[in-house]
Amino acid sequence: MNSTENKKLVEEKDPRVHARFDKFSICTTCYRDKSDCICKKVTSFSNKLRVIILQHPQEQFKKLNSAHLCGLILRNCQVFAGLSWPNFKSVAGEHEQPSQWGILYLKGHAQSLSPVEIFDRKDQPILQSEIKLRGIIALDGSWKQAKTLWWRNPWFLKLNRITLNPEHESLRNQSKKEGLSTIESVALALRYLGEKSTLADSMIWQYEKLILSK
Ligand SMILES: [Zn+2]
């Protein structure tokens, strides 16, 4: 059995992939069952680059979901659940410009030179030093759900695209090799966009400890 088949089997056997909390008994801060509230166990960090997570509604109560943990760890992070938002400013704020923001895009390019690459809205590669990036947007959902969000929010195309090419496979057994959980994607992006590596390391470690090892 090759490793892909092996991973597929693990995923099929892990009931937690699709497991959800009962939405009437969750803590409304960490979105975990009140009996398993992790709010007081999280170590928070200040992040310079603002992070916004747009969460597909079907992801909201999933046990393995990492969006709210990400929001608790990062002091400068917001999570919005929904399917569509009228425009960029309704999400990021009146004073923000889409040209200074990037949306995370998981590509997993074998030929990529770097784990994180930035492309402008005309799809031209740009260096981080060429734009003063103020924030990033991450989509929280499966590949199919993310596709829906792209389709429902045409303003995403006004943002720079931050392509992630993870070197390491996800801690979670995703169906695609390049698949990463939301918190892993954000950690990878922040690591390469100038935040301290201790912050990214802690995000992964806390995800493992507070959600995956349960
Ligand atoms: Zn909680």
Q: What tens digit of pLDDT does each residue of 94-124 get?
A: 999 999 999 998 775 556 668 889 999 999 9
For 149, other C-beta atoms within 10 Å of its C-beta total 20
pLDDT for residue 79: 97
Between CA 164 and CA 169, with CA 166 as vertex, the angle to 5 degrees is: 140
Burial class for 117, CB neighbours closer than 10 Å (0-12, 13-18, 19+): buried
Span 169-192, average pLDDT? 76
Question: Ligand 1: distance of its center to the CA of 39 in Å?
Answer: 4
Question: How big is the chain by its Cα radius of gyration, in Å?
Answer: 17
Question: Ligand 1: distance of its center to the CA of 29 in Å?
Answer: 5
Question: Ligand 1: distance of its center to the CA of 64 in Å?
Answer: 14
Question: Ligand 1: distance of its center to the CA of 129 in Å?
Answer: 38
Asked if 17 and 8 touch (Cβ cutoff 8 Å), the reply is no
pLDDT tens column, 116-146: 899 999 999 998 888 889 999 999 998 899 9
Domain ranges of the chain: 3-212
Written as one letter, the residue type at 68 is H
